[in-house]
Amino acid sequence: IADADIHRSYMEKVVCEAAWKKEMFSPGYLVDSIYIGGGTPSILQPALIEELLDALYATCDVADDAEITIEVNPGAANADLFAAYRANGVNRVSIGAQSFNADMLAFLGRIHSRENALACYADARNAGFEDVNLDLIFGIPGQDLAMWERDLRTAVNLGPTHLSFYSLQIEEDTPLYADFMNGRIQEPDEIEDRRMYHLAKEYTEGLGYLHYEISNCAKPGRESRHNLKYWSMDDYIGLGLAAHSYMRGHRLSNTSSLPEYLTAAGTPEMVDWMHKSTTSEEMSEYIFLGLRRTAGIDLARFRASFGKDFWELYGEETAGLIRRGLLEHSGDVLRLTALGLDLANNVFREYI
């Protein structure tokens, strides 16, 4: 089967899924963020993206100022593609640059070059996209602080409205993990990793970016609505292969098998996991997801949402974290300190 035929069949199924899940969009549910990602959606013909957006507008109530993002990889998008996206109503682009260093791109297995990434950004801007995110990775074996600083300078000099900077994670069942287990690469040095993180945070803040989440910064007013929904435990619906949803305390994920997804006769056939969160799980998630935001969590909202007092439930753990300098408390706000940002996983474990 030709790729174009698979793409067409896949998008038709996504449109069907949107219709099947229409009942999840209760009256008055306003969609203010649409995110097209989870891979390389830029390999799809723009007409298919247009059909998807048309289906979503027909299915749910989309806000006039909705943030509509598409992910692209350098080398898989061009000026014509960006112009088509813009004409179809997409208003935000997230570019997976990862690095501007040839050796680092080769290590990561990326097929694009520095020149591709720069051209991709220019094409997006020339097509009229005012809101552009760049993804960067640090802590790559062989990368030193000077190399990371050059990547940061290159990215910021382009003038993106949003930057995401992630520490390289060596995940199981990946080629990197196999190389690590066989001793072909070394685990990133933790101290150097933290130096790179602090450099990114301080450098971007010095140029007017707001560090609003552990791994994300943005120009004022350009924080990603999509990201904030995850960390604020707002409802969201995922469509497509292996997509996740969270609605009214229920978490569900679609099958990761393309044949199963394409042959599904309804939502139950494509969903392979569903879980109704307990109150305890909901409270825990509210805390550790919310603490990812530098604004922290609102303890008054915690009381209003769960009908319980935060300090009665988590007072002992929280007091210990405050004494260790990992959390700070002011009024009804609890947030990570600078040290807490470095040791965030240690903090989160206390609430799981």
The set of residues, in sequence order, having a beta carbon less than 8 Å from that of 260 and lying 6+ positions away, is 269, 270, 272
Average pLDDT over residues 190-215: 96
Helix residue ranges per DSSP H, the chain: 3-20, 46-59, 79-87, 102-108, 114-126, 145-158, 175-181, 190-206, 225-232, 258-263, 267-270, 279-290, 299-306, 310-323, 338-342, 344-349
Average pLDDT over residues 125-141: 96
Q: Check whether 155 has a pLDDT greater than 90.
A: yes
Q: What is the DSSP string of 155-196?
A: HHHH--SEEEEEE----TTSHHHHHHHTTSSPPPPHHHHHHH
| 3-state secondary structure at position 109 | coil
How much is the pLDDT for 39? 73
CA-wise closest residue to 350 among 318, 303, 306: 318
Q: Check whether 100 has a pLDDT greater than 60.
A: yes
How much is the pLDDT for 186? 72
Residue 175: which pLDDT band, with cuts at 50, 70 and 90? low
Average pLDDT over residues 264-287: 94
Compute the CA torsion angle 188, 191, 193, 197 (nearest 10 deg).
170
Residue 198: which pLDDT band, with cuts at 50, 70 and 90? very high
Instruction: Name the DSSP letter for residue 326.
Output: S
How much is the pLDDT for 21? 85
Q: Check whether 47 has a pLDDT greater than 70.
A: yes
| 3-state secondary structure at position 103 | helix
The dihedrals phi and psi of 47, each to the nearest 5 degrees, come to -60, -35
C-alpha radius of gyration, the chain, whole number: 21
Angle at 169 between CA 228 and CA 352, to 5 degrees: 55
- Percent pLDDT > 70 in the chain is 95
Q: Check whether 1 has a pLDDT greater than 80.
A: no
Residue 25: which pLDDT band, with cuts at 50, 70 and 90? low
Rounded-to-integer distance, Cα 202 and Cα 204, Å: 6
- Give the pair of three-digit tokens for residue 299: 């303890």
How much is the pLDDT for 26? 63
- Give the pair of three-digit tokens for residue 191: 């101290």
CB contact burial 88-105 (16+ within 10 A = b; e otherwise): bebbbbbbbbbbbbeebb
Give the number of other Cβ atoms within 10 Å of residue 235's Cβ: 16
CA-wise closest residue to 47 among 75, 91, 88, 5: 88
Rounded-to-integer distance, Cα 299 and Cα 321, Å: 16
CA-wise closest residue to 264 among 11, 17, 15, 5: 17
Q: Are 213 and 231 in contact (CB under 8 A)?
A: yes
Average pLDDT over residues 33-60: 90
State whether the Cα torsion 228-231-234-240 is positive or negative: positive
The dihedrals phi and psi of 304, each to the nearest 5 degrees, come to -65, -35
How much is the pLDDT for 308? 96
The dihedrals phi and psi of 237, each to the nearest 5 degrees, come to -120, 125
How much is the pLDDT for 20? 87
pLDDT in tens, 297-350: 999 999 999 999 999 999 999 999 999 999 999 999 999 999 999 999 999 999
State whether the Cα torsion 137-140-142-143 is positive or negative: positive
Average pLDDT over all residues of the chain: 92
- Percent pLDDT > 90 in the chain is 80
Average pLDDT over residues 287-306: 96
Q: List Cα–Cα distances, 4 to 7, 39, 48, in angstroms.
A: 5, 17, 10
